[in-house]
């Protein structure tokens, strides 16, 4: 790809990652969440693929699949966290610890430190979607193109 595309990608790639992270982080307060944020971040990966070619990313395939598995494991493990009560029970909410703050009532700007295991699950799903969509796009790019025939 041309220098213009590459330069813009260099600028936009970190921004898309940060924005994806923001959408994941605020998933329990605003519209968005793990899947949406992960998809935004994965679009950054797709941009890099288009600008720099799939070959540069090909060796990262193992990393992506490991990250995807890790996201899945983390999500299921967070479900096990609630087993003292029931599976998926939100024991961190209103516990005072991590993400355990009290939820303010009425219109307010949103308190990040709430919702218990939900933000953690958002992160797990976010990583899974980022890695999964990234791997899919990478796979498509490797299918076609110059190494095809």
Partner 1 sequence: MIGNLPFVVCMILVALGLWTLVTKRNLIKLVIGIGLIESGVNLFLVSLGYVRGGIPPIYTYAPADGPMVLPTPQALTLTSIVIGVATTALMLAFAVVIYRHKGTLDARKIRDLRG
Partner 2 sequence: MSVHAPILAIAVPLLGGFAVPLLARLHRKVRDLWVLLVVLFVGVCVGYVAAHVFTQGIWVYVLGAKNPQETLAPGGFPIRIMLTVDAMSAFMGLIAGFIALVAFPFALKYIPEEEGKTLSLTLGILLLAGILGMAYTGDLFNFFVFLEVTSIAACGIIGFRTWTSRAPEAAFKSMLLFSVSGLFFLLGVALLYGEYGALNLAYVSAQIRGSVVDRLSLALFLAGLLMKAAAAPVHFWAPDAYGEAPAAKALLLVVNTQVSLYGLWRVLFTLYGGLSDAGVGWLVVSLGLLTMVVAALMALVQTDLGRLVAYGAVSQIGYMMLGVGVGLVALSGRPDYGFVAMQGGVFHMLNDALTVGLLFLCVGAVEWAKGTRDLRALGGLGHGLPEVALAFLLASLALAGIPPLNGFASKILIYEGSFRLSPILTAIAVLCSILLLAVFARAFQGAFLGPRGEVEGKIPWVFLLSIGLLVVGILVLGLVPGFFVEEIVTPAAKALWQGRALYLAAVLGG
Restricting to residues 46-85, name those near partner 2 by CB under 8 A: 65-66, 69-73, 75-77, 79-80, 82-83, 85
Restricting to residues 116-145, name those near partner 1 by CB under 8 A: 129, 133, 136, 139-140, 143-144
Could you say whether residue 108 binds partner 1 (CB under 8 A)? yes
| Alpha carbons 121 and 90: distance in angstroms, whole number | 11
Partner touching 148 among partner 1, partner 2, none, CB below 5 to 8 Å by kind: partner 1
Partner touching 30 among partner 2, partner 1, none, CB below 5 to 8 Å by kind: partner 1
Restricting to residues 88-147, name those near partner 2 by CB under 8 A: 88-90
């Amino acid at each position: 790809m041309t220098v213009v595309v590459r330069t813009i990608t260099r600028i936009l790639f970190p921004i898309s990652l940060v924005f994806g992270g923001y959408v994941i982080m605020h998933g329990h307060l605003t519209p968005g969440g793990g899947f949406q944020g992960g998809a935004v971040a994965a679009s950054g990966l797709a941009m890099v693929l288009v600008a720099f070619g799939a070959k540069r990313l090909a060796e990262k395939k193992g990393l992506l699949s490991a990250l995807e598995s890790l996201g899945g494991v983390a999500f299921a493990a967070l479900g096990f966290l609630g087993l003292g009560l029931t599976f998926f029970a939100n024991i961190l909410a209103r516990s005072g610890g991590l993400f355990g703050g009290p939820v303010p009532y009425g219109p307010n700007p949103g308190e990040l430190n709430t919702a218990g295991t939900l933000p953690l699950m958002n992160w797990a799903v976010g990583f899974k979607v980022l890695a999964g969509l990234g791997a899919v796009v990478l796979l498509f790019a490797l299918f076609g193109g110059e190494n095809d025939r």
